[in-house]
Amino acid sequence: MKLYYAPGACSLASHIVLREAGLDFTLDKVDTNSKRTAEGKDFLTISPHGYVPALEIEPGLVLTEGPAILQLLADKAPGAQLAPGAGTLARYQLQSWLNFITSEIHKGFSPLFKPEMPAEAKALFVEQLGKRFDVLERHLAQNDYLVGERYSIADAYLYVTTNWAAYLGISLDRWTALNAFRARVAARPAVQAALAAEGLKAA
């Protein structure tokens, strides 16, 4: 498999899960401005959306959209126990968290990366994110991870999206349970290896 990624983007969650699952994979870095990959490919011919992640499962077969990729990877390595079994209530709870992260956290951050966005509008988005962090804080004050006490693909995704707060100068200090969760996830060897491979920390 080949993961098309951009350093620190949401594709980092797929990168982490590939390592957690112990799957064989290669990486191809995408320049999100030029839409060219490090291997010289036109990324738009791989993913018409033009954004990462994209996972080439085999030549000519590409899956896009992070939550779908994360579940595929978890199901390819059931022994890693990164997602509850298909059809179980716990799996639907996992999907509920993936949807929450996608629509409320990931997309909540997206406008803040736009330099043309007025400061007043950015302040409203930050306020809205704070309300979503309150939801996470209440849950994580009672649970080590999003789905009970076992680390899952949803935790990798949440870790990556909340990483963007520091880049944007948003303090997470008042959400102590969320910060404790982030520290637990950051300490995982697969997370450290993925960060190093993307040049986000020293190897």
Contact 136, 101 (CB under 8 A): no
Q: Is pLDDT at 114 greater than 70 in this prediction?
A: yes
- Between CA 57 and CA 43 the distance in angstroms is 16
Reduce the DSSP state of residue 33 to 3 states and report it.
coil
Averaged over 75-95, what is the pLDDT?
97
Q: Which CATH class is domain 2-79+190-197?
A: alpha beta
Pairing of strands 2-5, 36-37: unpaired
> What is the pairing mode between strands 2-5 and 26-31?
parallel
Identify the pLDDT of residue 148: 80
* Tens of pLDDT, residues 134-148: 999 999 999 999 998
2-79+190-197 and 83-188 agree in CATH topology: no
**Cβ of 14: how many Cβ atoms within 10 Å?**
31
Tens digit of each residue's pLDDT (9 = 90 or more) over 45-74: 999 999 999 999 999 999 999 999 999 999
Q: Does residue 202 carry a pLDDT above 90?
A: no
User: What predicted TM-score, i.e. pTM, was given to this entire model?
Assistant: 0.96
Q: What percent of the chain has pLDDT over 90?
A: 97
Q: Where are the domains of the chain?
A: 2-79+190-197, 83-188
At the topology level, CATH places domain 83-188 in: Glutathione S-transferase Yfyf (Class Pi); Chain A, domain 2 (1.20.1050)
